[in-house]
Structure 1
Amino acid sequence: MWFPRLASNRVLRGCPSEAPFALIHKEANAERLYCLNDAAHSLGLYRGMNLADARALCPDLRSRPARPDLDARFLDVLRRWAMRYCPWVGREGADGLVLDVTGSAHLWGGEAAMLEDMRAVMARTGVALRLGVGATRGAAWARAHYGEDADLAQLPVAALRIGAETVTALQRLGLRSIGAVQGAARAPLARRFGPELLLRLDQAMGAVPEPITPEAEPPQYATRMTLPEPIGLVADVMGVTQRLLEPLCAKLRAQHMGARRLLLTLRRVDQASQQVDLRLAAPMRDTARILPLFQRGIDTIEAGFGIDMIRLEAVLVEPLAVQQIGHVDHGNDRLNDLITRIGTRIGLENIQRFQPADSHIPEHSFLIVPAAHSPSASGWHAPRPRPITLFPPEPIMAKGAEPPARFRWRRMSFSTGRAVGPERIAPEWWFENPAWASGLRDYWKVDTREGRRLWLFYTPQSPGWYVHGEFA
């Protein structure tokens, strides 16, 4: 199976368009076409073409950035789909699959009927497909790319899966077809082109076997229990959940993984199902820590006439390294458990924390990020004290470069008791920041006799005083 428009088909399945379309990627500081649809190809555009040249030929060309990672995931979906035809399915490059249908074709009424079903399914899904059948893997690849029903000996030498330079050199020698290469003397070919050419030729002709290696299926982290008698008490459900958690956590521990999301499915005797979705603030594989976190969700379950099957699955896992079990501060574990408990009520994405940012501009020196998906900033200390509260600069009436002895702010009068500074902060010229367009600022920490501790700054280029924050 060869999918010549795999990347563009993946995108256009979600937003169909008859206009010329291409995916682009950057190569050697130039944007080039990565994959095109049929409309763009019919206008003379080709893969690897410079985007500027392509737009000159086709001003209406629509483009989007290429995502090879998503293309690989889409090909993996197609690989799993292709296993309906045979169990031996492997990848063939970045845009193809190879199937060993020996002993499986008769289940579909023969090879012709099986191939017709493949074409029909792909036509309905909007994915271009070209098929090739052969006694060897190399022969099937050649026919898929250069002619499904063609004689292998008549196909061009490029059908041997060799490099473009080798193809050009063979054509200059007059060897333009696979049959011509097969009939030539092997020793001179080996001396000139190395062993790869003859290896590919022997693989295509069946002289050298080329096995198909199926992709290993990802591990499934799921356990289930069918109960002989329905249950309905919360204590009973928690007990079964504990028995399911133990082997699941053991499997996670053996593979150095941790669960970030667990899904508990409870099936009632009337075939209705309810689910408890537990999202964890950090990867976990400790039964004693995870089990209490299910309590709130299980309390809301309506057991009806009873629950006869419970299934537990870790739907999202992450690598979790082995940790020292002795002399360890478990403060982070307790914090993560607390975040998880609160997250089950208001959502993990609504629990946020501050993180330091690499900037000396006060407004840019921190980030607000979800607490469940960011590490704590322990051990970080600001080089200079910063106020707890920041607000947009508010001007005050004062003169001179030294902090004023008396000033009014927010309709209140203040007297300066102690002033520490100045701390000069220059704007980040590489960013456009209108608030800092005026230039330098000299910051002072001012303790007033009225008890307020304010953060003032002075702008020497356009003399003026402002209050920017307040200390606790």
Structure 2
Amino acid sequence: MFDGMNRRIICLWFPRLATERVLRTCPTDGPFALTLRHGNAERLYCLNPRAEAVGLCRDMSLADARAYCPDLLTGPARPDLDVRFLGTLRRWAMRYCPWVGFEGRDGLVLDATGSTHLWGGEAALLDDLRGRAAQAGLTLRLGLAGTRGAAWALAHYAQGDEPLEALPVAALRLDGKTDIALQRLGLSRIGDLAATARAPLARRFGPDLLARLDQALGQMPEPVVPQPDPPRYALRMTLPEPIGLTRDVMGVTARLLDPLCARLDRDDMGARMLILSLRRIDRASHPITLRLAGPMRDPARILPLFERDIEAADAGFGIDQIRLEAAVVEPLTARQTGIDTKASGQERLDDLITRIGTRIGLDNIQCFRPADSHIPEQAFCLVPATLSLPAAASAWTRSGLRPGLRPLRLFPPEPISASGRQPPARFRWRRMSFTAARAIGPERIAPEWWAPNDGWRSGLRDYWKIDTREGRRLWLFHTPQHPGWFVQGEFA
């Protein structure tokens, strides 16, 4: 049997982590909730106490919530930022003990065995946790027990000093289906479940139920695994004699860049931003920030990009320490090595964008990217060229809007003289006469009713691909509500 009674496990549960992360910067006294889309509906994701007091609950549809509480203030949920915020809280919790791990998406677990006496005992440690969480504006519920499962149960379900056996069976971290089935059998408390014969339970519910029970009672180990800190890619060199010439600084930078790139290559990572700090003998530091257009780990490509800023740096009476850090890194898959060691076309483009960006700023170099919209005017967006391709855009060619279905050139609608619902056999456009040889369509496109500011209020459009005898392939549309024909694009 596993003896876990000598262990002291603390479970920290932040039931309103998402909303309190947002309200820390923009507090409000009224009902507030964050929403997250599930399927085709927006649902409440996390609520503040005022919203819960008026009867709103998690997973309620936003339409029902607004009908029930017209004064409800909402905002979009950002689970990725919540995870980052929880990681910050994990680092803060390491002041109490070194063994801190995540407990779901809104909790932490601490193995405080042997550390409680440093805070004056268990009660003093818990009081300090509550006080600091209250100062930070966070709702915190705590559970302290000899096992991780019992600590979780006390934090989520205990009201006061209830023993573990008096808590509901849902406190064993069971799924909803198992919880309901146990209650139908009359096993509503952990004590009732522990007093029941194990063999029938195992046959009906499988081994997971008994494993959760044994973990809570200390009959099965459940360790607290601390999260490893992310690797830091930084090197420095302290020089025996100050230097000031550009070639000397470039030489030291090259010596730092080689092992740094070797570390990145070992972890299949590439640097997106490098910071070169030049410390002078008067202790003044001159940082040089190099933002790259794409993830790189090739010293031969990165080193020349530092030269312009190093030449402009003021060395003063000399530089005695140089530090190089990859401040922002991204995954970079390994390339197959061979005879041809020349940079690829994308790599040469990244080098060119980086060189231009060091002069005018990388954010000023922009390009068009596909957007998730069937509206022609909104099917693209202008973004910095250094941004990674979003997942929605990477699947663009697999969706119904394949590149061949849209013209290569798109311009504002230009009216032409034509009538009727069928494409005109002859028409004039831009002072040129055209004769239609083949017409493909129609493709009806309607405004996005769910987008209040879609910028398109002209109603339905019926689009046609027209091949003309003059060799031009045009994209025309007809508006049924206000009869008229327009040219909006041209195919290659």
Q: With the length of structure 2 as denominator, give the TM-score of the two structures.
A: 0.77
Deviation at 1:189, TM superposition (A): 2.9
Q: Distance in 2 between matches of 1:459 and 1:179?
A: 71
Q: Distance in 2 between matches of 1:159 and 1:430?
A: 52
Q: Which residue of 1 aligns with 2:99?
A: 88
Q: Which residue of 1 aligns with 2:129?
A: 118
Is 2:43 the counterpart of 1:32?
Answer: yes
**Aligned in 2, Cα 1:322/1:168: closer, same or farther, shift over 3 Å?**
closer
Alignment of 1:250-329 (within 5 A): 250-325=262-337, 326-327=339-340
Q: Distance in 2 between matches of 1:355 and 1:181?
A: 57
Say which SS state the counterpart of residue 214 (structure 1) adopts.
Answer: coil
Q: Distance in 2 between matches of 1:158 and 1:465?
A: 63
Q: Distance in 1 between matches of 2:95 and 2:107?
A: 16
Q: Which runs of 5+ in 2 are unaligned?
A: 1-11, 390-401, 418-423, 448-455
Q: Deviations 1:55-84 (Å, cap 9, x if unpaired)?
A: 333221122232222222221221122111
Q: Which residue of 2 aligns with 1:242?
A: 254
Q: Which residue of 2 aligns with 1:451?
A: none
Say which SS state the counterpart of residue 85 (structure 1) adopts.
Answer: coil
From 17, 22, 30, give the equivalent of 1:11.
22
Contact 1:34/1:48, CA 8 A, preserved across alignment: yes
Is 2:173 the counterpart of 1:161?
Answer: yes
Matching residue's letter, 1:66: A
Contact 1:395/1:467, CA 8 A, preserved across alignment: no
From 194, 198, 219, give the equivalent of 1:182.
194
Q: Deviations 1:388-426 (Å, cap 9, x if unpaired)?
A: x97885999xxx97688xx997xxxxxx9x989878687
Q: Distance in 2 between matches of 1:361 and 1:180?
A: 60
Is 2:387 the counterpart of 1:338?
Answer: no
Contact 2:233/2:260, CA 8 A, preserved across alignment: yes
Deviation at 1:456, TM superposition (A): 10
Q: Distance in 2 between matches of 1:198 and 1:33?
A: 34
Q: Which residue of 2 aligns with 1:57?
A: 68
After superposition, the CA RMSD in angstroms is 4.1
Contact 2:102/2:108, CA 8 A, preserved across alignment: yes
Contact 2:35/2:44, CA 8 A, preserved across alignment: yes
From 196, 214, 218, give the equivalent of 2:226.
214
Is 2:165 the counterpart of 1:150?
Answer: no
Q: Deviations 1:205-252 (Å, cap 9, x if unpaired)?
A: 111111111112222111122223333222222111111111110011
Is 2:59 the counterpart of 1:48?
Answer: yes
Q: Deviations 1:236-279 (Å, cap 9, x if unpaired)?
A: 22111111111110011112211111111222333332211111
User: Higher relative contact order at CA 8 Å, sep ≥6: structure 1 or structure 2?
Assistant: 2
Q: Distance in 2 between matches of 1:179 and 1:122?
A: 32
Deviation at 1:127, TM superposition (A): 1.3
From 347, 352, 357, give the equivalent of 2:366.
352
Greater CA drift, 314-323 or 455-464: 455-464
Q: Deviations 1:399-454 (Å, cap 9, x if unpaired)?
A: x97688xx997xxxxxx9x989878687863155669969769687989xxxxxx9
Deviation at 1:25, TM superposition (A): 2.5
Greater CA drift, 5-14 or 433-442: 433-442
Say which SS state the counterpart of residue 444 (structure 2) adopts.
Answer: coil
Matching residue's letter, 1:52: A
Contact 2:426/2:436, CA 8 A, preserved across alignment: no
**Aligned in 2, Cα 1:170/1:459: closer, same or farther, shift over 3 Å?**
closer
Q: Distance in 1 between matches of 2:442 and 2:18?
A: 44
Q: Distance in 2 between matches of 1:112 and 1:272?
A: 47
Q: May I ask how many residue pairs the two structures share in their alignment?
A: 448
Q: Which residue of 2 aligns with 1:198?
A: 210
Q: Deviations 1:123-152 (Å, cap 9, x if unpaired)?
A: 121111111111111111111112263322
Deviation at 1:362, TM superposition (A): 9.6
